Amino acid sequence: MLVKLAVLFSGNGSNLENILEKLHKKSFGKNSFEVVLCLCNKKEAYGIQRALKFGLQTVLIEHKNYESREDFDRALVKEIQKSGADLAVLAGFMRILSPVFTKNIKAINLHPSLLPLFKGANAIKESFESDMKVAGVSVHLVNEELDGGKIIAQKAFEKDDNMKYEDFEAKIHALEHELLPQSIIKFFDE
């Protein structure tokens, strides 16, 4: 089966590029994957350049151009549905989504902590500064609750007491790059 993916991002786009390298136009088992939509909400996002390396144009829908969260989400839903995507992948998409989105789009989100701990935008810093001896990343289904959907995959590592923040953050990103493509493949295997 051809699985069509929409990838939503807001910034650097390293997870977008990772998906493009590992899944785009590749087959795993009975499924082939294709990124049919790259969608971003910030015109200065570096991820737009990353998509171009794969010959993909990014659709820009800037949230600041909409009166309400719901109006923005309606624009997202329309674009994702138009693309025919089977799954929307939130890969560093820094927007809280309303039921207008969550009730109409099947989506997963990559989050840089072991949920349900450290929800929201400062997860890496909060996880690093915590007393926890492990840290990691999660992939979860998207619902109305911020970082609150059913967890579908996690990877963890032990924190080293002498670890610098930069090394911690690099380890988080390395795990993200492993877990997200694996989770997408597994999502369609089941």
- Residues in the annotated binding site: 13-15, 69, 94-97, 109
Q: Which one, of 56, 57, 58, 61, lies nearest residue 42 by Cα?
A: 61
Rounded to whole angstroms, the Cα distance separating 4 from 184 reads 11
Q: Any idea which residue has 């839903």 for tokens?
A: 77
Q: Using an 8 Å Cβ cutoff, are 110 and 7 in contact?
A: no
Q: What ranges make up the beta strands (E) of 41-177?
A: 58-60, 87-90, 107-111, 134-141, 151-158
Respond yes or no: is residue 24 known to be catalytic: no
Rounded to whole angstroms, the Cα distance separating 17 from 24 reads 10
Catalytic residue among 24, 111, 140, 177: 111
Q: Using an 8 Å Cβ cutoff, are 5 and 187 in contact?
A: no
Rounded to whole angstroms, the Cα distance separating 113 from 41 reads 23
Active site residues: 111
